[in-house]
A = this chain, B = another copy of it.
C-alpha cells in the first residue's frame, strides 16, 4: 500500500503509544459495519472493539451532506468516551462525506473505508478501468472519483448507485431470479464499460458478492472495503506501536441507537458468537 495514502496525522503517533490496550472504536449508520468488525475479529482477534451503529436514523445513504456530518459527529463523540486508540468509520457514506470534519474533531487517527479500497483498486487494476457501486449519497459525493483521480489521472472511472441492494441485504434476500435481474439492471453499464475492478462501496454489498460476481464475470476483481480497511488499520497500529499487548480475550461492546431485531442471529452470522446489543441515545448532545 502506498504511504502517500496515509493522512498526515498518522505519521507521529508516539504521543499515544500508551494507548495500545485501548479499544478500537468503529461506527456505522447501522449494522452494515459489522462486516468490518468481522474482519477485525479474524485478523486482529486480540484487539478490543467498541462498535456503534446508528440504527435509529439509518440509512444515511439517501441523506444530505449536512445531515450526514451532523450525525457522524454525534456518533464520533459517543465513541470518544471509551478512550479509543483508533477510530474506524465503517460506512462508505460517512467516509465519503464527513471524514475531513471527523479528523478535525479529534487528534486520534480516523480511518475511513474509501482510502483502503482505492489503494487496493489502484494496485490490482490492469486495464485502468475501475467501477464503483454505492448508495446515492456516496455516488453523488464523487468522493471515490476525486480520491482516485488525485492518485492516478489516467484511470477511467464508472459509478452507479444501487439503492435497492441495502434493502435486499437487510431482508436477507440474497439469491434468485429477481435479485439477479436487479443486479443485472444496476451493473450492465459497468460491464459494458469493461471495468476490470469493481469497488463494493457500501458495507452491505459484500453479502451480495456471489451474485455480483456472477453478473460481472470471474475476470472482474471485486474490492471489499471491509478487508482493506482492516489491512490498513493493522499497518497504522503497527507503525504507531499501538498493537495490543494483552493476551487474555478482549471484551467487545456493541451499541445501537435503536433495537436490532434478530441481533443474536446477526451476531452469530457476522461475529461467530453471541454478543449483546446495548441501546443508547447519541442525539442529545449535538
Bound CA span A283–B285, Å: 11
Q: Which of B55, B58, B63, B258 contacts A258 (CB 8 A)?
A: B63
Assess whether A64 is in contact with B258, with CB atoms less than 8 Å apart.
yes
Q: Which residues of B contact A284 (CB under 8 A)?
A: 286
Copies in the complex: 2
Q: Which residues of B contact A167 (CB under 8 A)?
A: 163-164, 167
The number of chain A residues with a CB under 8 A from chain B is: 26
Answer whether residue A259 sits at the interface, using C-beta atoms and an 8 A cutoff: yes
Interface residues of A in 174-198 (CB under 8 A from B): 177-178, 181-182, 185
Bound CA span A58–B58, Å: 8
Q: Which residues of B contact A151 (CB under 8 A)?
A: none
Answer whether residue A171 sits at the interface, using C-beta atoms and an 8 A cutoff: yes
Query: How close is A205's CB to chain B, nearest CB, in angstroms?
Result: 15
Assess whether A67 is in contact with B56, with CB atoms less than 8 Å apart.
yes
Bound CA span A55–B177, Å: 32
Task: List 6 additional A-B contacts (Cβ < 8 Å) besides A67-B258, A178-B182.
Answer: A55-B63, A64-B258, A64-B259, A67-B259, A181-B181, A284-B286
Interface set of A (CB-CB < 8 Å, partner B): 55-58, 62-64, 66-67, 163-164, 167-168, 170-171, 177-178, 181-182, 185, 257-259, 283-284, 286
